[in-house]
Amino acid sequence: MRFRNALLLCSLAATVLIAGCSQTTSTAGSSSDGVKVATNQIFTGDYGAVEDHGYPLPAIPINRLDERFHRQIVDYATKERPGTIVVNTPNRFLYYVLPGGKAVRYGIGVGKAGFAWEGEAYIAWKQEWPTWHPPKEMAERKPEVAKYVEEGMGPGLSNPLGARALYLFNQEGRDTLFRLHGTPEWSSIGTAASSGCIRLMNQDIIDLYSRVRPGRNARVVVQQ
């Protein structure tokens, strides 16, 4: 597989699911490239406060975020098999492919200029409330995080990986150092702000985490 630019961890920022959705009717929406998309369900009501493994996740002011970045089930034509994750970097969407021409679509934050990447990987393992180990390259740029290179930053609301992390490995079985992870910085969704990793709102990464079974069949395709 190929990855462009530096292999860096995500920028420093700060399995109980909420059931239901705010709408169940099929509506027509648009992606940011102007293509009409049929929305089957939208989960705007799933961003309230929740306690997860003892950590109190605050509510997200979801109405301040463009509705297209709210978690939703959409019509999605693809040759990828169900269970595949497709990251559409330009439009800031992550799709979890479902059977029957559908997908769960999540709004994401992506790598800023100089940290963009594309290619294929698989999710080798996943972690609830992970420990964060920044790479040495980041510590050189940000000395304040150097102490976490070896000892790591423990889980918590200020941990840059958020409530969950999914770890991407290449086809040779090596860690790419890229992650799909949570973030408390909900306002960064829909932007290019990270150091290469793909970030989701914490309530969304909890939902995605529950759907993924790690292994080589947990394929991830990143599009630029």
Q: Residue 179 has which token pair?
A: 């992650």
The single residue of 10, 21, 70, 197 carrying the catalytic annotation is: 197
Residue 181 a catalytic site member: yes
Cα dist from 62 to 130, 192, 214, whole Å: 25, 19, 29
Any idea what DSSP says for residue 112?
Answer: -
Count Cα atoms within 13 angstroms, Cβ side, for 132.
Answer: 32
Is-catalytic flag, 197? yes
E-strand stretches of the chain: 27-30, 36-42, 50-52, 55-57, 72-75, 85-88, 93-98, 102-107, 110-111, 119-128, 164-169, 175-183, 192-194, 198-201, 219-223
Query: What is the maximum span of the chain, computed from C-alpha positions, in angstroms?
Result: 51
Catalytic residue positions? 181, 197
